Amino acid sequence: MKQQVIFLKELERLKRSSSMEQETGVETSSEIQMHHTQQKCCEPWPAVFSLPDFPPELNESLQRKDPSFKKKEKSHLRSLLIQVLFDSITKYTWYPSHKIYTDVLGSLIKRFPFLKDTSPSGHDTLLHCLRNKFKKERIPLVHSSAVQEMKKKFGVKRNALDISVSDGLVSEEEQTKRCKTANFPVLLCTDNPVSTQSQEIILNLENIGEDQLSFQEHITVINAELRKR
Protein backbone atom coordinates (compact mmCIF):
# COMPACT_ATOMS: atom_id res chain seq x y z
CA MET A 1 0.00 0.00 0.00
CA LYS A 2 2.82 2.36 0.93
CA GLN A 3 4.57 1.67 -2.37
CA GLN A 4 1.36 2.44 -4.27
CA VAL A 5 1.05 5.80 -2.51
CA ILE A 6 4.66 6.63 -3.33
CA PHE A 7 4.13 5.57 -6.94
CA LEU A 8 1.01 7.76 -7.30
CA LYS A 9 2.82 10.76 -5.80
CA GLU A 10 5.74 10.32 -8.19
CA LEU A 11 3.34 9.96 -11.12
CA GLU A 12 1.55 13.19 -10.17
CA ARG A 13 4.90 14.99 -9.84
CA LEU A 14 5.96 13.82 -13.30
CA LYS A 15 2.66 14.97 -14.78
CA ARG A 16 3.08 18.43 -13.25
CA SER A 17 6.66 18.64 -14.46
CA SER A 18 5.63 17.65 -17.99
CA SER A 19 2.82 20.22 -18.00
CA MET A 20 5.16 23.02 -16.90
CA GLU A 21 7.68 22.10 -19.59
CA GLN A 22 4.96 22.22 -22.26
CA GLU A 23 3.76 25.65 -21.10
CA THR A 24 7.33 26.97 -21.07
CA GLY A 25 7.89 25.55 -24.55
CA VAL A 26 4.81 27.29 -25.93
CA GLU A 27 5.80 30.62 -24.44
CA THR A 28 9.35 30.32 -25.74
CA SER A 29 8.08 29.43 -29.20
CA SER A 30 5.83 32.51 -29.24
CA GLU A 31 8.67 34.76 -28.14
CA ILE A 32 11.01 33.35 -30.78
CA GLN A 33 8.35 33.84 -33.46
CA MET A 34 7.72 37.42 -32.39
CA HIS A 35 11.46 38.18 -32.15
CA HIS A 36 12.02 36.79 -35.64
CA THR A 37 9.10 38.86 -36.91
CA GLN A 38 10.47 42.01 -35.29
CA GLN A 39 13.78 41.52 -37.10
CA LYS A 40 12.00 41.16 -40.45
CA CYS A 41 9.70 44.07 -39.66
CA CYS A 42 12.66 46.42 -39.62
CA GLU A 43 12.32 46.72 -43.40
CA PRO A 44 10.46 49.90 -44.40
CA TRP A 45 7.24 49.61 -46.37
CA PRO A 46 8.07 50.04 -50.10
CA ALA A 47 6.97 53.13 -51.99
CA VAL A 48 5.42 50.85 -54.63
CA PHE A 49 4.15 47.48 -53.42
CA SER A 50 4.70 44.47 -55.67
CA LEU A 51 2.44 41.46 -55.33
CA PRO A 52 4.18 38.26 -54.20
CA ASP A 53 4.54 35.16 -56.35
CA PHE A 54 1.38 33.08 -56.00
CA PRO A 55 1.43 29.28 -55.60
CA PRO A 56 0.55 27.38 -58.82
CA GLU A 57 -2.92 26.40 -57.59
CA LEU A 58 -3.78 29.98 -56.64
CA ASN A 59 -2.23 31.52 -59.74
CA GLU A 60 -4.13 29.18 -62.07
CA SER A 61 -7.40 29.92 -60.29
CA LEU A 62 -6.81 33.66 -60.55
CA GLN A 63 -5.97 33.42 -64.25
CA ARG A 64 -9.20 31.56 -65.03
CA LYS A 65 -11.22 33.94 -62.80
CA ASP A 66 -12.54 31.21 -60.55
CA PRO A 67 -15.91 32.31 -59.05
CA SER A 68 -14.97 30.70 -55.71
CA PHE A 69 -13.03 33.85 -54.80
CA LYS A 70 -16.30 35.79 -54.51
CA LYS A 71 -18.45 33.18 -52.77
CA LYS A 72 -20.36 34.43 -49.73
CA GLU A 73 -19.62 31.26 -47.77
CA LYS A 74 -16.13 30.13 -46.80
CA SER A 75 -13.83 29.64 -49.78
CA HIS A 76 -10.60 27.62 -49.90
CA LEU A 77 -9.17 29.76 -52.70
CA ARG A 78 -9.99 33.03 -50.95
CA SER A 79 -8.42 31.72 -47.73
CA LEU A 80 -5.31 30.75 -49.67
CA LEU A 81 -5.15 34.21 -51.25
CA ILE A 82 -5.50 35.91 -47.86
CA GLN A 83 -2.75 33.69 -46.43
CA VAL A 84 -0.33 34.66 -49.21
CA LEU A 85 -1.08 38.37 -48.74
CA PHE A 86 -0.74 38.00 -44.97
CA ASP A 87 2.67 36.34 -45.32
CA SER A 88 3.79 39.10 -47.64
CA ILE A 89 2.74 41.92 -45.28
CA THR A 90 4.28 40.34 -42.17
CA LYS A 91 7.70 40.69 -43.78
CA TYR A 92 7.27 44.37 -42.89
CA THR A 93 4.78 44.58 -40.01
CA TRP A 94 2.22 42.67 -37.96
CA TYR A 95 0.23 45.88 -37.45
CA PRO A 96 -0.54 47.14 -40.97
CA SER A 97 -2.00 50.60 -41.39
CA HIS A 98 -4.93 51.47 -43.62
CA LYS A 99 -2.44 52.65 -46.26
CA ILE A 100 -0.70 49.27 -46.28
CA TYR A 101 -3.99 47.42 -46.69
CA THR A 102 -4.93 49.81 -49.50
CA ASP A 103 -1.58 49.40 -51.27
CA VAL A 104 -1.80 45.60 -51.20
CA LEU A 105 -5.45 45.20 -52.15
CA GLY A 106 -5.26 48.03 -54.68
CA SER A 107 -2.42 46.23 -56.48
CA LEU A 108 -4.37 42.97 -56.34
CA ILE A 109 -7.54 44.49 -57.83
CA LYS A 110 -5.51 46.25 -60.52
CA ARG A 111 -4.01 42.96 -61.70
CA PHE A 112 -7.19 40.92 -61.24
CA PRO A 113 -10.18 43.26 -61.80
CA PHE A 114 -12.69 40.39 -61.51
CA LEU A 115 -12.02 40.37 -57.73
CA LYS A 116 -13.67 43.78 -57.29
CA ASP A 117 -16.78 43.87 -55.11
CA THR A 118 -19.61 46.42 -55.11
CA SER A 119 -18.07 48.66 -52.43
CA PRO A 120 -16.69 52.13 -53.33
CA SER A 121 -13.10 50.90 -52.87
CA GLY A 122 -13.77 47.66 -54.73
CA HIS A 123 -12.06 45.55 -52.08
CA ASP A 124 -13.99 45.94 -48.81
CA THR A 125 -14.72 42.20 -48.66
CA LEU A 126 -11.06 41.26 -49.01
CA LEU A 127 -10.09 44.01 -46.56
CA HIS A 128 -12.42 42.54 -43.94
CA CYS A 129 -10.95 39.05 -44.47
CA LEU A 130 -7.36 40.29 -44.30
CA ARG A 131 -7.93 42.34 -41.14
CA ASN A 132 -9.59 39.37 -39.44
CA LYS A 133 -6.61 37.23 -40.43
CA PHE A 134 -4.21 39.61 -38.69
CA LYS A 135 -6.39 39.78 -35.57
CA LYS A 136 -6.52 36.00 -35.36
CA GLU A 137 -2.78 35.49 -35.90
CA ARG A 138 -1.79 38.17 -33.35
CA ILE A 139 -3.73 36.56 -30.48
CA PRO A 140 -1.08 33.92 -29.54
CA LEU A 141 1.57 36.66 -29.33
CA VAL A 142 -0.28 38.96 -26.94
CA HIS A 143 1.34 37.64 -23.75
CA SER A 144 4.87 37.12 -25.06
CA SER A 145 7.71 39.12 -23.51
CA ALA A 146 8.52 40.57 -26.95
CA VAL A 147 5.07 42.16 -27.13
CA GLN A 148 5.51 43.59 -23.63
CA GLU A 149 8.77 45.14 -24.80
CA MET A 150 6.93 46.68 -27.77
CA LYS A 151 4.40 48.21 -25.35
CA LYS A 152 7.19 49.72 -23.27
CA LYS A 153 8.94 51.00 -26.38
CA PHE A 154 5.92 52.58 -28.09
CA GLY A 155 3.75 53.43 -25.08
CA VAL A 156 3.76 56.82 -23.35
CA LYS A 157 2.60 57.82 -19.90
CA ARG A 158 -0.73 59.50 -19.34
CA ASN A 159 -0.94 63.26 -19.52
CA ALA A 160 -3.11 65.50 -17.35
CA LEU A 161 -6.17 64.81 -19.51
CA ASP A 162 -5.91 61.03 -19.04
CA ILE A 163 -5.44 61.36 -15.27
CA SER A 164 -8.45 63.65 -14.87
CA VAL A 165 -10.59 61.36 -17.04
CA SER A 166 -9.69 58.19 -15.14
CA ASP A 167 -10.22 59.94 -11.79
CA GLY A 168 -13.61 61.27 -12.85
CA LEU A 169 -12.61 64.94 -12.59
CA VAL A 170 -14.19 65.93 -15.90
CA SER A 171 -17.58 65.16 -17.41
CA GLU A 172 -18.06 62.72 -20.28
CA GLU A 173 -18.97 65.58 -22.63
CA GLU A 174 -15.91 67.58 -21.62
CA GLN A 175 -13.49 64.66 -21.96
CA THR A 176 -14.84 63.86 -25.43
CA LYS A 177 -14.40 67.50 -26.44
CA ARG A 178 -10.83 67.57 -25.13
CA CYS A 179 -9.92 64.34 -26.85
CA LYS A 180 -11.19 65.60 -30.19
CA THR A 181 -9.20 68.82 -29.73
CA ALA A 182 -6.08 66.82 -28.89
CA ASN A 183 -6.67 64.60 -31.93
CA PHE A 184 -6.92 61.43 -29.82
CA PRO A 185 -9.01 58.49 -31.04
CA VAL A 186 -12.58 59.11 -29.88
CA LEU A 187 -12.77 55.53 -28.64
CA LEU A 188 -10.38 56.44 -25.82
CA CYS A 189 -12.83 59.12 -24.73
CA THR A 190 -15.77 56.79 -24.16
CA ASP A 191 -16.72 54.82 -21.08
CA ASN A 192 -15.33 51.48 -22.21
CA PRO A 193 -14.69 48.62 -19.74
CA VAL A 194 -10.91 48.84 -20.06
CA SER A 195 -8.54 48.22 -17.17
CA THR A 196 -6.54 50.96 -15.43
CA GLN A 197 -3.38 49.47 -16.91
CA SER A 198 -4.83 49.80 -20.42
CA GLN A 199 -5.82 53.42 -19.75
CA GLU A 200 -2.25 54.28 -18.77
CA ILE A 201 -0.93 53.59 -22.27
CA ILE A 202 -1.63 55.79 -25.28
CA LEU A 203 -0.06 54.25 -28.33
CA ASN A 204 1.98 56.30 -30.71
CA LEU A 205 0.06 55.32 -33.83
CA GLU A 206 2.63 56.51 -36.35
CA ASN A 207 5.49 54.54 -34.75
CA ILE A 208 3.64 51.21 -34.95
CA GLY A 209 2.23 51.68 -38.44
CA GLU A 210 -1.38 52.21 -37.34
CA ASP A 211 -4.07 54.70 -38.18
CA GLN A 212 -7.08 55.76 -36.12
CA LEU A 213 -9.42 53.23 -37.78
CA SER A 214 -7.19 50.19 -37.25
CA PHE A 215 -6.37 51.32 -33.69
CA GLN A 216 -10.06 51.49 -32.82
CA GLU A 217 -10.52 47.97 -34.14
CA HIS A 218 -7.73 46.70 -31.87
CA ILE A 219 -9.35 48.40 -28.86
CA THR A 220 -12.70 46.79 -29.74
CA VAL A 221 -11.10 43.34 -29.76
CA ILE A 222 -9.34 44.00 -26.45
CA ASN A 223 -12.58 45.17 -24.83
CA ALA A 224 -14.37 42.07 -26.07
CA GLU A 225 -11.68 39.84 -24.53
CA LEU A 226 -11.85 41.72 -21.22
CA ARG A 227 -15.62 41.26 -21.04
CA LYS A 228 -15.13 37.48 -21.27
CA ARG A 229 -13.12 37.44 -18.04
Q: pTM above 0.85?
A: no
Residue 111 reports pLDDT greater than 60: yes
Are 227 and 193 contacting, i.e. CB atoms less than 8 angstroms apart?
A: yes
Closest to 84 measured CA to CA, from 69, 67, 71 = 69
What's residue 56's pLDDT? 94
Distant-in-sequence, close-in-space partners of 19: CB < 8 Å, separation ≥ 6: none
pLDDT, tens digit (0-9, with 9 covering 90-100), for 51-78: 999 999 999 999 999 999 988 888 899 9
What kind and span of H or E run contains 156?
strand 155-156
What's residue 209's pLDDT? 54
What's residue 157's pLDDT? 55
- What rounded mean pLDDT belongs to the chain? 71
- Sign (positive/negative) of CA torsion 175, 181, 182, 186? positive
Question: What is the pairing mode between strands 202-203 and 155-156?
Answer: antiparallel
Share of the chain above pLDDT 70, in %: 49
Higher pLDDT, 167 or 105: 105
Average pLDDT over residues 32-39: 50
pLDDT, tens digit (0-9, with 9 covering 90-100), for 114-152: 999 999 999 999 999 999 999 999 887 665 666 666 666
Closest to 85 measured CA to CA, from 63, 101, 99 = 101
